[in-house]
Amino acid sequence: MTWNSAMSVNVESLDAQHRTLIALINELGDAMNNGKTDVVIGSVLSKLIAYTQFHFDYEENCMVISCFAHLDHHKCEHDGLKKKVKSLEKDFLAGKANIADEIMNTLQQWLHQHIMESDKQYSPHFIQNGIQ
């Protein structure tokens, strides 16, 4: 997956964080394509859990300081992904088959449904309020 301008929320700090999330998706995809999923998946899940927590905290803080009207709804979406990723980690640790495919599908859906739709909604507000 390659970052492109259609993915941008026009706030550099958040675009940079989204590029990091895309790098995690690519890390998992590369491992799947090279038959090394078992070696990489635990590491990718750990990075994903840590990074989404950092990213969501940052994004929600930007919403608080700029008085973004849809913070509660956005936070609810974030909480849903955190719960899903924790569930995927539990399944991985329990040895569930094809977990890499499920993780990849979850991340790709998140990219398209959340980053490219929900996150775009805050873009004009953040720019207007000086969030960079």
- The residues, any chain, with a CB within 8 Å of residue 33's CB and separated by 6 or more, are none
Residue 5 lies in a domain: no
d(CA 121, CA 126): 9
Q: What are phi and psi of 68, to 5 degrees?
A: -70, 125
Residue 3 lies in a domain: no
**Predicted pLDDT of residue 1:** 84
**Predicted pLDDT of residue 87:** 93
**Predicted pLDDT of residue 97:** 83
Cβ(56)–Cβ(80) below 8 Å: no
**Predicted pLDDT of residue 96:** 87
pTM over 0.85: yes
For 16, the domain range is 11-128
**Predicted pLDDT of residue 7:** 92
CATH number at residue 104: 1.20.120.50
Cβ(33)–Cβ(46) below 8 Å: no
d(CA 93, CA 86): 11
**Predicted pLDDT of residue 38:** 80
Residue 6 lies in a domain: no
Residue 73 lies in a domain: yes
Averages of pLDDT over runs of 10 residues in the chain (132 residues) are 91 95 90 85 88 95 97 95 91 88 90 90 95 93
Residue 89 lies in a domain: yes
Structurally, the chain folds into a number of domains equal to 1
**Predicted pLDDT of residue 40:** 86
Residue 46 lies in a domain: yes
